[in-house]
Chain A
Amino acid sequence: MPEALRLKGQGASPGMARGPAYVMAPEDGRARGVRANGSDAARLAEAVDRAVEALRELAGRSDLESAAILEFQIEMLRDPALLEPSLERIQRGAEAGAAWAATMDAYVASFEDAEDEHIRARGADMRDIRQQVLRALHGERPPDFPQGSILVGRDIAPSLFLSHDWSRGGGIALFGGSVASHVATLARSRGVPMVVAMSGAEIETGMELVVDGDDGVVAGGRAACASELVDDRASSLPVPDGRQADEIPLHTADGIRLTLQANIDHPSELRHLSPSGIDGIGLFRTEYLMGAPADLADEERQVEIYAETLAWAGDRPVTIRLLDFGADKPPPGEATDPSSFLGLRGIRLLLARPGMLRTQVRALLRAAPVGRLRVLLPMVTAPSEVEQTRAVFAEEAARLSARGVTHAMPPLGLMVEVPAAALMPETFKAEFFSFGTNDLAQYLSASARDNAAVSPLYPAARAAVLRFLEMTMPLVAATGRPVGICGDLAGDPAALPALLSCGFRDFSMAPRRMTLARAALSRLNADGSEARG
């Protein structure tokens, strides 16, 4: 493959984007040393006010998460601790822009030499604020770039990310940047693929690029065109709403009602879905909402996100899973711990460190009255874990009552992914069950998901999982409580006949899997056999 460009970086936001490169000019960091009419002090104060106004306007049309980041910038700009040193510089004879730039440079430097990546990442916000005021001072418009482009540069300002229209796709490929930056958080929540810390190479505006945010690779030229990855992901585009709506409710060929629900990681994914096209949210994985440790403690933000999702779903159920941290998904700011696949994960970790559990429980209780909330407990092994969690719900509900805060108690369900729990369903005081087949496969085959050396064992595990489901599904069904399935297997057309034959009627899967699954299920009888004719 001639002219193949393949740059290795670090994936900061998953997904695949393709488009022409737009290479951002290096930041014009210099302040114009020209004197303008009017006092420098007044001009600078006005420029700061204009920058705050522009940010308020942008925050007003942004989602909550983006607005929170802009609020941070607004608070910084409104703090006299930035304006006052600049005014002192002006009194000593500096021009307005030069005074502001010098103050900000001194402040930015204190972040950029930090060892902690989360502190360094705030440097990008400070540079953004610096430039916004300089632009306001010089009467310049904020930069933008063509829709659908792959933005290439050293770093990208949060305000640029937020003011750009990403509705026509596009991606971000940075030579610098950080997975801990605000832009990375925003890119993840908006589904904009992003790679940071990319190895250096000449990229020109207009060059065709593919950004692979999963593997942290940026490919260009012919390499991008030939990539089989692109075709694979192209089929993963969301299904148009109208088509989904036509096919609800879903029945098997012999007329048995099935439900099809969506697995999501963030409410932004709802934009591609119509509530009338699906039977609800079968699995909302909340750990992906937590980009920073502060998010874990932000009860109000969680209430907003859960309430937004419940309101969207209306009278359809929304199953929110408690934070499933551990192993390959450590709490934000902590290192991965592969050994915790068999250790403190899911509900075990939450009960061991109940601070984050209690915050989430309060947020769920408060959001519950908005819709039909169900709460799923991950990695449950023993009945006592459900009882302890229920006790936390009861305690937090009592505290909310004492404070006069509106709330409601949702049903608690068991994520069936530990074989021991699957074999003993009647011992759990759970109000519903949902099989999670990915971890079930790992625990049945004693093969860690993240260990490439044992990945060849997975085909054998798959057959064992299907037989295990066949054996344990009658035990769960005997409890008389609702049961569904939400692992990758539920969205795999090849596995659906076996799952129907086991007795599954409620399936939850990634939205992009729904079209194929829906087609496959409607061609099958309820016993899993192929419908004739």
Chain B
Amino acid sequence: MNDQRPMADRPHDAASAIAFATVEVTHDIGLHARPSVVFTRLAKSFPCAIGVEVNGDGVWLNGKSIVKIMGARIRKGFVLSIRAEGAAAPEAVAALRTLVERNFDEEKSHARSA
């Protein structure tokens, strides 16, 4: 999940951890009221700064703002980049990525047979 992407808009601070992940929204309708509440509440439970970029458009939204997340109208097929900086950054990114995957995993094929 670590990425070499430059974080030009933030000065690098050796003391703070940085984590990054991308995840595709595979759900048919996307991130709506209830999932946005769950996503931003989870984000707010971490002390680090969390940014979300939609489809690599270069705009980093505050991952703790439901107004920004809802306003991005995130739909099926969109790729979310999630980055966190500060304390517990790797945990925050892993938790948010898993949340998106868990919420939108309907298209996965049935892995096991009886």
- B17 CB within 8 Å of chain A: no
Which A residue's beta carbon lies closest to that of B66?
A75
B-facing mask of A58-85, CB < 8 A → 1, else 0?
0000000000110110011001111000
Q: Does A495 contact B (CB under 8 A)?
A: no
Task: In the complex, identify which listed stretch (B3-11, B27-35, B46-54, B80-88) lies at the interface while the others stay far away.
Answer: B27-35
Residue of B nearest to A384 (CB): B114
* Binary interface encoding of chain A residues 452-480 relative to chain B, with 1 for a CB under 8 A from any of its CBs, else 0: 00000000000000000000000000000
Query: Could you tell me if A81 and B65 are in contact, using CB atoms closer than 8 angstroms?
Result: yes
* Interface residue A352 (Cβ < 8 Å from any Cβ of B): yes
Query: Does A297 make an interface contact (CB < 8 A)?
Result: yes
Judge whether B113 and A294 touch: CB under 8 Å.
no
Q: Give every chain A residue within 8 A of B110 (Cβ-Cβ).
A: 351-354, 388
Contact yes or no, B108 A79, CB < 8 A: no
* Residues in B whose Cβ lies below 8 Å from that of A295: 34
CA separation between A351 and B73, bound complex, in Å? 30
Cβ-defined contact, A81 with B114, below 8 A: no
Q: Which of B33, B109, B114 contacts A69 (CB 8 A)?
A: B33
**Nearest chain-A residue to B34 (Cβ)?**
A294
CB pair A118–B32 under 8 Å, yes or no, is yes
In the complex, whether B107 has a CB less than 8 A from a CB of chain A is yes
The distance in angstroms between the C-alpha atoms of A355 and B111, with both chains bound, is: 11
Structural contact, A297 and B68, CB atoms closer than 8 A: no
- CB contacts under 8 Å to B, within A114-138, are 114, 116, 118-119, 122, 125
Chain B neighbourhood of A391, CB < 8 A: 112, 114
**Which chain B positions have C-beta within 8 A of A80?**
65
A388 and B73 in contact, given A72-B37, A296-B106, A355-B105 (Cβ under 8 angstroms): no
Residue of B nearest to A387 (CB): B114
Instruction: Tell me the complex Cα distance, A75–B106, Å.
Output: 27
Decide: A388 near B108, CB < 8 A? Known: A75-B37, A122-B32, A294-B103: no
| CB <8 Å contact, A354 and B108 | yes
| Contact between B102 and A334, CB atoms less than 8 A apart | no
Q: Shortest beta-carbon distance, B114 to chain A, in Å?
A: 4
> Which of B29, B62, B111 is the one whose CB lies under 8 Å from A81?
B62
Bound complex: CA A72 to CA B40 (Å): 11
Taken together as a complex, chains A and B put the C-alpha atoms of A507 and B51 apart, in Å, by: 55
List of B residues within 8 angstroms of A68 by Cβ: 34, 37
B28 touches A72 (CB 8 A): no
Nearest chain B CB to A225 CB, angstrom units: 40
Q: B67, A292: Cβ atoms under 8 Å?
A: no
Residues in A neighbouring B30, C-beta threshold 8 A: 116, 118
List chain B residues, Cβ under 8 A from A390. Answer: 114
- The smallest C-beta distance from B86 to any residue of chain A, in angstroms, reads 19
Whether B41 sits at the interface, judged by CB under 8 Å, is yes
A111 to B71, CA, bound (A): 8
* Among candidates B29, B62, B114, residue contacting A293 with C-beta atoms closer than 8 Å: B29
| Chain B hits for A69, CB < 8 A | 33
Known contacts A79-B66, A355-B105; A72 and B33 CB within 8 A of each other = yes
Q: How far is the CA of A292 from the CA of B35 in the complex (A)?
A: 10
* 3 nearest CB pairs, A to B: A81-B67, A355-B105, A355-B106
Extra contacts, 11 of them, besides A75-B36, A294-B103, A354-B108 (Cβ < 8 A), are A76-B67, A110-B71, A116-B30, A292-B34, A294-B29, A294-B33, A294-B35, A297-B104, A298-B34, A353-B107, A353-B110
- Show 8 A/B contacts (Cβ-Cβ < 8 Å), sorted by A: A116-B73, A118-B29, A119-B73, A293-B106, A294-B35, A353-B107, A388-B114, A391-B114
